[in-house]
Amino acid sequence: MAANLSFIVIATLIAMSVYLLYQRSHSVIKKNRAMLLNDCYGLLNNATKDYEGNGFPIIKGHYSGFDVQLNLIPDTIVMRKIPPLWLMVSIKANKESKGNMDFIVRPQNIEFYSPGWRWDGLFKTPANWPQNSIAKYQDTKASVSILDKFIPNLFTDEKVKQLLVTPDSVRITYLAKQAIRGEYLLTRGAVFDDQAIASDDVKNIIEYAIAIRKSIEEESA
């Protein structure tokens, strides 16, 4: 009886220790995640910060007369592949336009953040756009002539994954980080280093997205 009681006590202590270690590790991971956009906070006027349930930050504010949102999405869909961390730079329209387009390079049919997989329209990628890609639309296609001024240069940066144009927004999806390889191979967890994402890179994406949105709205005026 005493031996059984000792076993229960030891097992309970081990379980509590494992739980406390997990809680401590999880707390450190969430704290690190929360800091990833710290250097970008100052890019936006009247900026506010919130957090997803997984600890990744969401920053909202204004830039050059547009509402801007920055958020991070870990991509853990594909097993046996080092998970990427996508930065979403979203620009809210000042004036709604007609048409939409979802353009993705190196598509794998697992881009869960893309609405284009539910869209029926598909058009041939122009010759001067990246060719390992897919371009889709729903109902009405966004102005290809406007986008042609931006897409070839935008996607020379291989970290740019997606350009999404809708009547009320423009969004650019950008590879911010990849998970720490050793950590992923050991635990299959999407753990990213705690180095803040460079604000210069984010600023360039914001300005590019705003330039696209401005051109679309000027054409539809």
Burial of residue 31 (CB within 10 Å: 0-12, 13-18, 19+) is exposed
pLDDT in tens, 86-123: 999 999 999 999 999 999 999 988 899 999 999 999 99
What pLDDT is stored for residue 80 in this prediction? 63
pTM: 0.83
Please state the rounded mean pLDDT for residues 188-200: 81
What pLDDT is stored for residue 31 in this prediction? 63
CA–CA dist 30, 27 (Å, integer): 5
Share of the chain above pLDDT 70, in %: 80
Residue 22 has pLDDT above 70, yes or no: no
Instruction: Quote the tokens at residue 62.
Output: 């204004």
The DSSP secondary structure of 106-142, one letter per residue, reads: S--S--TT-GGGG--EE-PPPTTS-SSEEEEESSSB-
Confidence bin at 59 (pLDDT 50/70/90): very high
Confidence bin at 21 (pLDDT 50/70/90): very low
Mean pLDDT lowest among 105-109, 161-165, 188-192 = 188-192
Instruction: State the average pLDDT for the chain.
Output: 85
